């Protein structure tokens, strides 16, 4: 790699696979602008037919939860097993759900 690697902004790449319903995070890359970020995403992440749709998002546009808040945000949910719909019996007549 050349010593003077350009100081390009970081982008997050999301791919939707052929049979996937939602875009999933695939990785990140550096690119000077949105068009070239899309091109680089195509060249880096879809070489083996992984996608039929690409999103790129400037990394700075993603608002992330603070890892230090993990206990406050997520631990309380761990003890609320009644929030899982596993206490209902589905009548046979309903069929596949």
Partner 1 sequence: MSAICEVPGGNIAVAETPMLRWVLAYADDALILGHRLSEWCSRAPSMEEDMALANLGLDLLGQARFLYSHAATLENAAQPALERSEDDYAYRRDAPQFRNALLVEQPNGDFAATMVRHMLYASFADLYWRASLAVSDPAIAAFAARSEKEIAYHERHAADWVIRLGDGTAESRRRAQSALDGLLAFADELFETEADQLPLMAAGAIIDPARLRDAYRHRIEQICARATLSLAWPRWHQSGGRQGRHGEHLGHLLAELQFLPRAYPGASW
Residues in the site for partner 1, rule: CB under 8 A?
A: 1-2, 5-6, 8, 29-33, 35-36, 39-40, 42-44, 47
- Please state whether beta strands 10-16 and 24-30 pair in parallel, antiparallel, or not at all (unpaired): antiparallel
Residue whose CB is less far from partner 1, 6 or 67? 6
Alpha carbon distance 50, 17 (integer Å): 6
Q: Which is nearer to partner 1, 29 or 54 (CB)?
A: 29
Alpha-carbon distance of 81 to 87, in angstroms, equals: 10
Minimum CB distance to partner 1 smaller for 52 or for 73: 52
């Amino acid at each position: 790699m050349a010593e003077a690697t350009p100081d390009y902004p970081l982008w997050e790449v999301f791919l939707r696979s052929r049979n996937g319903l939602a875009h999933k995070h695939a990785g990140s890359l550096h690119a000077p602008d949105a068009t070239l970020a899309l091109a680089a995403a195509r060249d880096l992440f879809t070489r083996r037919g992984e996608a039929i749709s690409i999103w790129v998002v400037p990394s700075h546009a993603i608002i992330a939860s603070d890892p230090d808040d993990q206990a406050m945000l997520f631990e309380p949910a761990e003890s609320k097993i009644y929030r899982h719909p596993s206490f209902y019996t589905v009548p046979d007549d309903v069929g596949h759900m």
